Amino acid sequence: MRELICICCPLGCHITVDDSDLNNLKVTGNSCLRGDKYAREEVTCPKRTVTSICKVAGGEIPVVPCKTKDTVEKGLIFDVLKEISKVTLKAPVHIGDVVIKNVLNTGVDVVATKNIDIKR
Q: Does 113 bind other proteins (CB under 8 A)?
A: yes
DSSP 10: T
Reduced to 3 states, what is the DSSP secondary structure of residue 103?
Answer: helix
Cα separations in angstroms, 103 against 57, 100, 108: 21, 6, 6
Q: Does 118 bind other proteins (CB under 8 A)?
A: no
Examine residue 10 and say whether the peptide bond preceding it is cis (omega within 30 degrees of 0). Answer: no
Q: Which is nearer to other proteins, 10 or 24 (CB)?
A: 10
CA neighbor of 52 nearest in space, from 89, 78, 73: 78
x/- string (CB under 8 A) for other proteins, residues 22-61? --------------------------xx-xxx-x-----x
Site of interaction with other proteins (CB under 8 A): 4-10, 12, 14, 48-49, 51-53, 55, 61-63, 65, 67, 74, 77, 81, 95, 113-115
